[in-house]
């Protein structure tokens, strides 16, 4: 007997419904990808790459936090550098005064007053703050760095109220920057001691030779302090350069990380749009076939 | 006498045509019923030339049925497992969603970077404590989600076991009934019902069947454990306390005597209940343990506890199981619980300078240090920063792999299922053509009756 292969009416209908359902779901996913520019499911696309993407996101967040923190530090170092330049300038002015022959017997008091004024200016600069924190107080940024004690008959003096421990800053995952200078640094101490010598000496009682010897001693000590401070300034400049370089690198990393995440998570919009168009064409064809098959029946001819 | 024989033969033809019409109408009426098999009348010719109904045949291909049921079992196991995993991993999200534990741990690390630059700033300290709370909340939330999915799996195991037992009981009852002679159409209907029940069982477990000569069906698991033998049922049982599935006294779990099931929703649920979900829980515990231990080492308080605690207690390797559900921020740091955020900087030690960020640095360094605690298979030599992405990536990869298995299994299963449905199912147009043939046969037999009757009348008139 001749076998007639059977196509079940129910299977025919279910098959078409299944095709429409799959194509609709796929078209929906493609639409989402085109709209968002991101892959619908990164893990099913490439699970190891998705894990890498998460790691890169963490690196990017950390890098971004370092970048912000370093930009603040950059401002702090610039303020510190400016204050130090001012200190050097004030010190150099007093050095010039000490070396010049302008101070005569009759105006030695002017020299002392100038020394006292210089001490006050330096103390003000050493107690400068940035963002509410004392810059030259070492790790005790909440307390002033120095205090000038001027209570006659005791000699005028400078008390170091800050910490001798220099401040540090982590500027990336692996680098800790020991930056700046504390008010109790040897160079500053030498300068302040030299100026203190001029403030506290009994200038009126000195002979001209003794006064010249004092000025020479003050000038020598001040010069020594200034030279050391210039070296510290150079180190601070170098630290600023390191920080600037690190910030540049972190900007570059930010771009790289963002690109890597986009490469992994992003959908190729052009390719997805083409696939979507093709899928919509297929879907239209399936609807057409479904409608035609629904219309064809032997019942219409009986 | 030949005219009388002709009358009888025509009458038998009408009788068969009647039954053929009934069968065709049943086929057409049930054409959209899944599981309904196309029936056809097999007529036989007697020695006297009459036509009789030999049997009503169901259109069934035993090999296709076996293949389709095997595919059905595989698909049910794969899709049950994939759905269970997806129900949990939905809480991990995609990388861009930003609410996974990896994102939270990343935010904590970034907050510590900010704090390292401003060690004594209250807002920066609060940000660290707040993100630490988010990390703990993320892990405890995932543990709750895992618990919800596990309870759901447990419930489904009970439902499926009950449904499988009901199906087996009904099958056994039908096995007893089919042994009693009945008319061919009723018998074919019973066979359809039995086939439907066995199909249903194949969705619960991978099974094999043996058909007895009287039409009864005995069902065994693929590994040969008796489920239904004629009228006898070996009930399936599930022990929620141990996660053990059995039929009669035989363990059906993979850890049993090598006679476990590997297909059907029950196999998928068992895998979720006993293997996959507990492994996910262990991985969450490993991340929690890594966090508690790393912060205890980096910035310990005088009492030995760090930023994270095991429900207020320090880390103990003996209590690692379930730790993710108990993970909490040390209340000593938490201002909402009466704590002090400045402990992040001081570590509880006196006279620590306000700009001293060494303890914060130590906490930051902990992220790039190797995790000391067991990682539950997430990888060897991982750092704390890598642990959370590894966890999320591993669990999502498991979900993606399970979904991919479903797609592959479905493609193979659908092909066989279509072939079976085409072989067994009804084509309405074909039935209408058969009906036209029956109609013609019926009209011809009726005409024979009329003609013979006229001939007999003519004979009687001639007498």
- How are strands ordered across the β-sheet holding B250-251? B236-239, B244-247, B250-251
Arithmetic mean of pLDDT, B77-106 = 95
Q: Does residue B349 sit in helix, strand or coil?
A: coil
Q: Does residue B143 sit in helix, strand or coil?
A: helix
Of A9, A138, A167, the CB nearest to B428: A9
Residues B117 and B100: their CA atoms lie apart, in Å, by: 27
* Cβ–Cβ gap B389/A138 under 8 Å: no
Instruction: Name the H helices within B231-357.
Output: 264-271, 277-298, 323-326, 343-346
Provide the residue count of chain B: 463
Minimum distance, in Å, between the CA of residue B80 and any CA atom of chain A: 18
- A37: tokens are 């520019």
Tell me, what's the pLDDT at B257? 64
Residue B390 in contact with partner chain A when CB distance is under 8 A: yes
Of B355, B364, B425, the CB nearest to A139: B355
Q: How far is CA B44 from the centre of its chain?
A: 47
Q: pLDDT by residue (tens digit) across B357-400?
A: 999 999 999 999 999 888 898 988 999 999 999 999 999 999 99
> Of B362, B344, B363, whose CA–CA distance to B354 is shortest?
B344
Tell me, what's the pLDDT at A108? 84
Minimum distance, in Å, between the CA of residue A61 and any CA atom of chain B: 6
Tell me, what's the pLDDT at B255? 58
Q: pLDDT by residue (tens digit) across B265-280?
A: 999 999 999 999 999 9
Residues B438 and B227: their CA atoms lie apart, in Å, by: 44
Selected for mutation to probe chain A from B36, B393, B407, B419 (highest A CB count within 10 Å) is: B393
Residue B256 confidence (pLDDT) above 60 = no
> Of B241, B285, B268, whose CA–CA distance to B142 is shortest?
B285
- B110: tokens are 């970034």
Residue B428 in contact with partner chain A when CB distance is under 8 A: yes
DSSP-derived secondary structure letter, B276? I
Minimum distance, in Å, between the CA of residue A80 and any CA atom of chain B: 16
* Cβ–Cβ gap A11/B357 under 8 Å: no
The structure tokens 């050097």 sit at A88
Which helix (H) or strand (E) segment holds residue B168: the answer is helix B122-178
Tell me, what's the pLDDT at B248? 87
The structure tokens 């293949």 sit at B67
* Cβ–Cβ gap B392/A65 under 8 Å: no
Residues B18 and B197: their CA atoms lie apart, in Å, by: 31
Q: pLDDT by residue (tens digit) across B48-64?
A: 899 998 889 999 999 99
Residues A225 and A186: their CA atoms lie apart, in Å, by: 8
Do residues A73 and A218 touch, judged by C-beta distance below 8 A?
A: no
Intervals of chain A under pLDDT 70: 1-3, 104-106
Q: What is the pTM of this model?
A: 0.87
Selected for mutation to probe chain A from B116, B355, B359 (highest A CB count within 10 Å) is: B355
* Cβ–Cβ gap A170/B353 under 8 Å: no
Tell me, what's the pLDDT at B1? 56
Arithmetic mean of pLDDT, B242-266 = 86
- B433: tokens are 């053509």
Percentage of the residues of chain B whose pLDDT score is greater than 90 = 86
Cβ within 8 Å of residue B424, ≥6 positions away: A8, B36, B37, B38, B58, B59, B60, B61
Among B residues 93-132, those touching chain A with beta carbons less than 8 Å apart: 94-96, 100, 102-103, 105-107, 109-111, 113-114, 116-118, 120
Tell me, what's the pLDDT at B424? 95
Tell me, what's the pLDDT at B144? 97
Residues A235 and A177: their CA atoms lie apart, in Å, by: 12
| Minimal-distance CA residue of chain A relative to B426 | A8
Residues B431 and B25: their CA atoms lie apart, in Å, by: 8
Residue B404 in contact with partner chain A when CB distance is under 8 A: yes
Of A15, A38, A299, the CB nearest to B96: A38
- What backbone phi and psi angles, to 5 degrees, belong to B138? -65, -45
| Minimal-distance CA residue of chain A relative to B101 | A54
The DSSP annotation for A156-208 comes to PEEEE-S-SSPEEEE-SSS-EEEES--TTSHHHHHHHHHHHHHHHS-GGGS-H
Q: pLDDT by residue (tens digit) across B102-137?
A: 999 999 999 999 999 889 899 999 999 999 999 999
Judging contacts by C-beta atoms under 8 Å, the chain A residues touching residue B33 are: 10
Q: How far apart are the first and last CA of chain A?
A: 26
* Cβ–Cβ gap A8/B427 under 8 Å: yes
Of B118, B354, B414, the CB nearest to A140: B354
Angle B384-424/A9-36 helices, nearest 10 degrees? 150
Residue B216 pLDDT level (bands cut at 50, 70, 90) = very high
Judging contacts by C-beta atoms under 8 Å, the chain B residues touching residue A71 are: none
> Of B315, B336, B335, B337, whose CA–CA distance to B324 is shortest?
B315
Do residues B139 and B287 touch, judged by C-beta distance below 8 A?
A: yes
Tell me, what's the pLDDT at A102? 74
Q: pLDDT by residue (tens digit) across B282-297?
A: 999 999 999 999 999 9
Percentage of the residues of chain B whose pLDDT score is greater than 70 = 99
Residues B321 and B77: their CA atoms lie apart, in Å, by: 28
Selected for mutation to probe chain A from B34, B113, B378 (highest A CB count within 10 Å) is: B113
Do residues B429 and B39 touch, judged by C-beta distance below 8 A?
A: no
Q: pLDDT by residue (tens digit) across B145-176?
A: 999 999 999 999 999 999 999 999 999 999 99
Q: What is this model's ipTM? A: 0.84
Of B94, B117, B399, the CB nearest to A72: B117
> Of B340, B355, B344, whose CA–CA distance to B306 is shortest?
B344
Tell me, what's the pLDDT at A104? 66
Among B residues 278-317, those touching chain A with beta carbons less than 8 Å apart: none
């Amino acid at each position: 007997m001749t076998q007639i292969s059977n196509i079940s009416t129910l299977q025919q209908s279910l098959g078409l419904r299944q095709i429409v359902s799959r194509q609709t779901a796929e078209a929906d996913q493609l639409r989402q990808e085109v709209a968002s520019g991101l892959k619908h499911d990164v893990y099913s696309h490439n699970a190891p790459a998705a894990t890498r993407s998460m790691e890169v996101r963490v690196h990017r967040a950390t890098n971004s936090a370092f970048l912000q923190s370093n930009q603040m530090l950059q401002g702090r170092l610039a303020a510190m550098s400016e204050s130090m330049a001012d200190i050097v300038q004030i010190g150099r002015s007093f050095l010039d005064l000490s070396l010049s022959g302008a101070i005569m017997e009759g105006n030695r008091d002017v020299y002392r007053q100038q020394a006292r004024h210089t001490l006050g200016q330096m103390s003000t600069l050493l107690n400068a703050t940035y963002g509410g924190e004392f810059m030259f107080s070492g790790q005790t940024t909440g307390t002033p760095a120095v205090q000038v004690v001027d209570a006659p008959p005791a000699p005028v003096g400078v008390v170091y109220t800050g910490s001798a421990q220099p401040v540090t800053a982590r500027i990336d995952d692996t680098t800790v920057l020991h930056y700046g200078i504390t008010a109790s640094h040897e160079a500053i101490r030498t300068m302040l001691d030299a100026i203190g010598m001029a403030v506290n000496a009994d200038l009126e009682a000195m002979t001209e030779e003794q006064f010249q010897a004092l000025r020479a001693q003050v000038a020598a000590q001040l010069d020594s302090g200034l030279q050391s401070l210039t070296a510290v300034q150079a180190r601070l400049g170098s630290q600023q350069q390191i920080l600037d370089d690190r910030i540049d690198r972190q900007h570059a990393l930010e771009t790289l990380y963002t690109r890597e995440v986009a490469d992994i998570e992003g959908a190729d919009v052009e390719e997805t749009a083409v696939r979507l168009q093709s899928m919509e064409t297929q879907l239209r064809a399936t609807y057409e076939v479904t409608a035609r098959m629904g219309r064809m029946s032997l019942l219409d001819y009986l | 006498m030949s005219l009388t024989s002709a009358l009888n033969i025509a009458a038998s033809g009408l009788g068969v045509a009647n039954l053929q019409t009934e069968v065709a109408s049943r086929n057409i009426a049930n054409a959209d019923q899944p599981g309904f098999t196309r029936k056809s009348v097999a007529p036989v010719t007697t020695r006297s030339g009459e036509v009789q109904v030999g049997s009503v045949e169901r259109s069934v291909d035993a090999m296709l049925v076996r293949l389709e049921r095997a595919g059905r079992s595989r698909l049910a196991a794969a899709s049950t497992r994939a759905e269970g995993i997806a129900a949990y991993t939905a809480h991990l999200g995609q990388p861009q969603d930003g609410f996974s534990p990896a994102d939270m741990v990343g935010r904590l690390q970034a907050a510590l970077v900010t704090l390292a630059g401003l060690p004594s700033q209250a807002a920066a300290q609060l940000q660290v404590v707040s993100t630490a709370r988010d990390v703990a909340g993320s892990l405890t939330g995932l543990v709750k989600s895992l618990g919800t999915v596990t309870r759901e799996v447990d419930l489904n195991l009970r439902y499926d076991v009950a449904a499988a037992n009901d199906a087996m009981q009904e099958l056994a009852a039908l096995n007893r009934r089919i042994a009693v002679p009945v008319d061919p159409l009723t018998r074919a209907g019973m066979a359809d019902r039995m086939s439907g029940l066995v199909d249903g069982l194949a969705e619960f477990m991978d099974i094999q069947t043996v058909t007895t000569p009287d039409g009864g069906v005995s069902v065994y698991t693929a590994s040969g454990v008796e489920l239904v033998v004629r009228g006898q049922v070996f009930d399936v049982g599930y022990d929620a306390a141990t996660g053990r599935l059995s039929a009669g006294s035989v363990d059906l779990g993979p850890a049993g005597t090598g006679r476990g099931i590997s297909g059907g929703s029950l196999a998928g649920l068992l895998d979720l209940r006993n293997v996959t979900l507990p492994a996910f829980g262990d991985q969450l515990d490993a991340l929690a343990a890594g966090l508690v231990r790393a912060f205890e080492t980096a910035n310990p308080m005088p009492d030995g506890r760090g930023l994270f605690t095991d429900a207020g207690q320090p880390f103990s390797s003996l209590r690692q199981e379930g730790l993710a559900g108990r993970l909490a921020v040390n209340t000593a740091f938490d201002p909402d619980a009466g704590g002090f955020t400045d402990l992040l900087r001081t570590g509880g030690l006196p006279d620590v300078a306000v700009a001293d960020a060494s303890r914060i640095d130590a906490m930051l360094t902990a992220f790039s240090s190797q995790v000391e605690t067991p990682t539950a298979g997430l990888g060897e030599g991982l750092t704390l920063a890598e642990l959370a992405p590894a966890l999320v990536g591993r669990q999502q990869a498991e979900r993606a792999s399970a979904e991919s298995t479903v797609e592959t299994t479905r493609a193979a299963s659908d092909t066989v299922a279509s072939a079976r449905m085409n072989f067994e199912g009804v084509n309405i147009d074909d039935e209408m053509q058969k009906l036209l043939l029956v109609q013609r046969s019926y009209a011809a037999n009726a005409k024979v009756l009329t003609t013979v009757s006229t001939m007999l009348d003519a004979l009687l008139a001639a007498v």
